[in-house]
C-alpha cells in the first residue's frame, strides 16, 4: 500500500537505479554523435538530430526514476548519490560538446562545470558519512539546464534563422549560469549550516 492508502503496482526495487545508471553510457553515445554531427549539425544534420533526441530522452529519465522511487517508496542512498552524478555527466557532455563545436562560450561552460563537479566531488567525499541529496534549487537548476541544452542541441536555426537561434541560446545559457552559481552557493550555505549544527 502507498502512503495514501492506495494499492501500488509492484516494480523491481532496482529499476530507478538501473534507469539512473543507464544515463551514463547514454551520455557517452550522445557526446560522440554530437561531435560527429558538426557545428550547427553540419555536415551531418541527422546525427545532430539523433544526439539532441538522445539527450532529451536521457534528461527526461531523471524525472522518471525520481518519480518511481518516490511513488513506490524505494528511494535509496545509491539513487540519491548517483542520480545527480548521472545528470551532471549528461549535461556536462552537452556543455563541453557545444563548446568544442564553438556554439557556447567556453567561459560559461567552465564556470558551470567548476560548480557542478566541485559539488559532485564533495558529495563523494562525504558519502561515507552521509548522502547529500539534491536540494530544490539544484533540481530547478538541472531542469533548466535540460531545457536550455535541449534548445541548443536541436538545430532549429534552419527554421527560425541562425541569428535568432544563437541569440536565444546565449540568453538561455546566461540564465543557466546564474541558476547554477546560485544553487552552488545555496549548497555551500546548507553544508556549512549542517556542519555547525553537528558541532553544536
Q: What is the pLDDT of residues 174-188, one digit of tens each?
A: 999 999 999 999 888
Output the CA angle 190-196-199, nearest 5 degrees.
Answer: 140
Highest mean pLDDT among 7-21, 78-92, 104-118: 104-118
Q: What is the pLDDT of residue 55?
A: 97
Cell for 137?
A: 534549487
Peptide bond into 43 cis (omega under 30): yes
Determine the Cα–Cα distance for residues 44 and 33; give it in Å rounded to an integer: 10
Higher pLDDT, 5 or 27: 27
How many of the other CB atoms lie within 10 Å of CB of 90?
26
d(CA 69, CA 80): 10
Parse the chain into domains and list their residue ranges.
15-199
Which grid cell is 69? 522511487
> Is the pLDDT score of 94 beyond 90?
yes
Higher-scoring residue by pLDDT: 70, 153: 153
What is residue 120's predicted lDDT score, i.e. its pLDDT? 84
Residue 110 has pLDDT above 80, yes or no: yes
Distance between CA 95 and CA 53 in Å, rounded?
A: 16
Q: What is the pLDDT of residue 1?
A: 46
Q: What is the pLDDT of residue 84?
A: 82
d(CA 167, CA 163) in angstroms, rounded, equals: 6
Superfamily for domain range 15-199: CDP-alcohol phosphotransferase transmembrane (TM) domain (1.20.120.1760)
Average pLDDT over every residue of 89-96: 96
Contact 86, 58 (CB under 8 A): no
Amino acid at each position: 500500500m502507498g502512503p495514501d492508502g492506495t494499492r501500488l503496482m509492484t516494480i523491481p526495487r532496482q529499476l530507478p537505479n538501473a534507469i539512473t545508471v543507464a544515463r551514463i553510457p547514454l551520455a557517452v553515445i550522445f557526446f560522440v554523435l554530437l561531435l560527429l554531427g558538426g557545428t550547427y549539425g553540419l555536415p551531418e544534420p541527422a546525427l545532430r538530430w539523433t544526439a539532441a533526441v538522445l539527450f532529451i530522452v536521457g534528461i527526461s529519465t531523471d524525472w522518471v526514476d525520481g518519480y518511481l522511487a518516490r511513488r513506490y517508496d524505494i528511494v535509496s542512498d545509491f539513487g540519491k548519490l548517483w542520480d545527480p552524478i548521472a545528470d551532471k555527466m549528461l549535461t556536462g557532455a552537452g556543455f563541453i560538446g557545444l563548446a568544442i563545436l564553438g556554439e557556447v562560450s567556453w567561459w560559461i561552460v567552465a564556470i558551470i562545470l567548476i560548480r557542478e563537479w566541485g559539488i559532485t566531488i564533495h558529495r563523494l567525499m562525504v558519502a561515507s558519512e552521509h548522502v547529500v541529496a539534491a536540494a530544490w534549487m539544484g533540481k530547478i537548476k538541472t531542469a533548466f539546464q535540460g531545457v536550455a541544452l535541449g534548445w541548443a542541441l536541436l538545430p532549429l536555426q534552419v527554421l527560425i534563422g541562425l541569428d535568432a537561434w544563437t541569440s536565444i541560446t546565449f540568453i538561455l545559457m546566461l540564465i543557466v549560469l546564474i541558476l547554477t552559481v546560485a544553487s552552488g552557493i545555496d549548497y555551500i550555505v546548507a553544508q556549512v549550516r549542517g556542519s555547525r549544527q553537528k558541532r553544536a
